[in-house]
Each structure stands twice: as structure tokens, then as C-alpha cells.
Amino acid sequence: MTSTRSTPAPTAELETVLDSAKAASEKLESARPGELAGMLRGVADALEGATEELVPLAQRESGLPEGRLRGELVRTTFQLRLFGDVVEEGSHLGATLDSPAPDWPTGARPDMRRVSLPLGPVLVFAASNFPFAFSVAGGDTASALAAGCPVVVKAHPGHPELSRRTAELVTTALREAGAPEGTFALIEGTENSQAAVLDGRVKAGAFTGSNSGGRALFDLACSRNEPIPFYAEMGSVNPAFVTPEAAEQRGGEIARGYLDSYTLGVGQFCTKPGLLFVPQQALREFEETLVPEVRQRGAAPMLSSGIANAFSESLNSLREHSAVRELVTGGHSEDGVTPTLLSTTAEELLANPDELMGECFGPVSLLVGYSDTDQLLEAAAAFSGELTATVQGAENEKVVESLFETLRSRAGRLVWNGWPTGVSVSYAMQHGGPYPATTAPTHTSVGTAAVERFLRPVSFQNAPAAVLPEALRDDNPLGIPRRVDGKLHSA
């Protein structure tokens, strides 16, 4: 069916970008692992070398503190190099070889060889809350390049100058590393990005941001005559649950850890714990610990006036609800905003899920008192799709196992006796979850498995050696791990 959606046509500049990306895609598909790894490491070196230029620029545009930005830039260069290591090792390609087997139980098996190939040009939407790690040269860009895909980044309007300068550094570094022209480009503006989503030369998209923005772009990608995968990481309230024994044994410690987590980065983390479930009998203790400490937290600026306005609107709606008590009223000043702490009961939450279980992006969280463990489990089951869920408990406590069983179908990452803010860039990380946390619960946007989003498996049946990708040739010229006739071979 042909879409009747009215959308902007590509500008001449966008046409050039997409033509170049398509041409680069054909060349990158044949790039060897070492070449791709060299490109990623070259970008990391370039960004690292420009630290003293980039960090002040990011400070001016985002209002984030210097220490936070320096740490974030380190994370950005680390993940680029980590993807370089992954590419060089080669197991992400899933190379699998099955020899001909005339007596195969389901019928004679032909020579079958399977490997993952790059999808093609990827459109990445930069995020506002991480000007380095989830922006122009962030995790989506790194994982797409690692897959051998050209990247077109739509700059976030919250840090335009940083985006442009970062793009210049990335483009130069890739060129110096031997990447074909068109491997990377930056575009700006809503109309350009919408036109790119709908363009046949773009083969996948990646987004980090709001539910409304992510869903709109996902729907646009699905409206194409040739729909494409669109990996949107969207909103999440990330519930945290304190069991009775944990509250009794270390209530003060848990309360302070919770406060640090929900106010981190002025509450502008997608993994912020938006609700904390506490036994009703321990609620007063938590409030007495938290209220004076929340009031002592100073004001800090939010990322942009738009985000600050959206926060005020959603906060006012939440605090004015009849089921909500306001424990600490946060304020707005020239220096920014101070944290807000609210309270309700599990009974009220379950009666008003749409109003009380939505994301409020900023420094506010909701304490929820529950009457017993049955009600705790009922509340846990009320959630749909979350990036994280946290359990603060005692190991031998009976409710813990049931709580984890309930939460594992509802969240991408389950945190035990810790806090969800702070996402490690590692091999086992899962930063994703069922809808509405993401549009693709089988994938992650952080960690080395993120590269799988931009690869497509292809099987070659009885193919002559000359047409096989190097990863599937008998002599394994790339020296990568492969599964041969069902057995794993390290190289």
C-alpha cells in the first residue's frame, strides 16, 4: 500500500548525503575487521585529542558540570575502542558452516554457510541528555560503524555547535583511517530528518529520547513502502522495590542511595528511579530520612528551556493529583531547579496507573507505601515495559524470587541491591526493554551486543568459493571464531 502521509522532500544537501552514504555502504560491506576497527579507534583518538576544546563547548551548551562531561567523553572514546575490539575478534558476525550431509535426518543437507552482513546506511538521532555518549559519536554511531554501516546523524538542537565540531572531528578521523567518503555525515532540522527516515537509501534508524518523539519516528519508519527497523529507546519510570527485611535492616542506607540516584544529573537520566515502593510501616522512617536531605540539595540547571518547561508541566500534573502528598516542594530559580519528593500508596497507584505511573523527566520521584508483599507483587505486575527494575532485598526473603519472576518479563535490566543510574558499557549489558521502554525489546542500545541491530544474516547454499564473504571461506582468512558442523572453533 502506498503511504499518503505528507512529508518533506529531501533537500539537495540531503540528497548528496544519502547518495554518498549509499555509495560508501557498498564499499564498507567488503571492509575487513581490522579496517573497521582502525576507523573506530581513529575516531576515539581524535575525540580524546580534542578534549580541551570539546568539554568547554559542551559545558556552554548543556549546562552540565565539567567533571560529568569529562567522564562522559571518556566513556565515549572507550566504547568506540571496545567496538573496535569486538569487530577485530569477529564473533559478532555469527559465521556458521554446515558441510554437505546426505544422511541428515530431515533430508540431505546441502553445503550451508551463514554470516551477518551490514544492513546499509543508518540514521541516528542524537540525544539531549548525553552530549557525547548518546550523541554524534555515541553508542548508536559506534555500533553502526562497527557493523560496517555508514552513519547519518541528526544533530540534537540542544547542543548544535558541539555537534558540528564533533562531526568535523569524526569525518576527518574516518577519512584518515581510510574510510570511503560518505561513511559519516551530520544533518540538522526536523524536515531533513523526517525525509531521511522515509528515504529508501536509509536502511535502519536509532533514537534515544521521549515516548512521543520515538513513537512518531517509529510509525514513520513503518509507514514506508519498504519498512525499516527503527530502534527507539524511549521513556521509562524504572520502579524500585524495597522488601520488608531490607527496609528494617538498612532503611537509611537505601533512602540515601535512592536520593542520590533520582537526583543524579538533575533527574535527566532515562534510568532514573521514578518510584520507590516501601513497606507502609517503614514509610515514616524513609520520609524522616529523606525530607531534610532533599531540602539540602542545591539548584542545578536542566539541559534546555524546553526540557525544563516539559518537566514543570508534568510535575504540576503529578503534584496536583488528589492521591499524591507533597513531601518536598522543589523550586525554580536562575540557578535551575531543586528536587521534589512526592508520596502515595500502592492502592492509589493501582487505582490511577495512567496518572501516577508515567515518566516525569527531571528531579522528582514518588514514594509508594505498600501494605503487604501481596500488594507489592500486584504493583510490580502493573508495569508494562521498563528499561530497569530494582529490588532492594535480603537474599533469603521469600518475596524476592516471586518479585524477580514478575519483573523479568517487564524490564530489560534487573538491579539487585544497587541503583539503575549508571549504565556500564560492557559485553553483558542490556539497555532496552519491552514497549513502551523501547520499540525493539530483543536488542540493546548500550554494550557490545548493540552492533547486532545493524546486521542482517544471509545464508549461502552450495555457493562457489569465489562469491563467499571471507568470513565463510574454508581457510578462514580473517581468523575469526566460527561454528563448523555444530562445533565452535575459536579461530
Pairing of strands 482-484, 96-98: parallel
The catalytic residue among 88, 245, 270, 287 is: 270
Contact 409, 184 (CB under 8 A): no
From 163, 161, 160, 157, select the one nearest 135 (Cα to Cα): 163
Would you state the cell numbers that stand for residue 326, as one nine-digit string? Answer: 507533597
Residue with cell 548543556: 62
End-to-end Cα separation, the chain, in angstroms: 47
Q: Do 153 and 205 touch, CB atoms closer than 8 A? A: no
- 108, 138 Cβ separation under 8 angstroms: no
Annotated active-site residue 270? The verdict is: yes
Per the annotation, the verdict on 233 as an active-site residue is yes
Cβ atoms within 10 Å, residue 388: 27
Is cis: bond before 481, omega within 30 of 0? no
The set of residues, in sequence order, having a beta carbon less than 8 Å from that of 286 and lying 6+ positions away, is: 247, 251, 254, 255, 276, 278, 367
350 burial class (0-12, 13-18, 19+ CB within 10 angstroms)?
Answer: middle
Helix (H, G, I), strand (E, B) or coil at 464: coil
* Catalytic site residue from 61, 72, 233, 287: 233
CA–CA distance, 120 with 108 (Å, rounded to integer): 34
CA dihedral 100, 102, 108, 110 (to 10 degrees): 20
CA distance 408 to 469: 38
Rg (the chain; Cα; Å): 24
d(CA 436, CA 438): 5
**Annotated active-site positions, please?**
233, 270
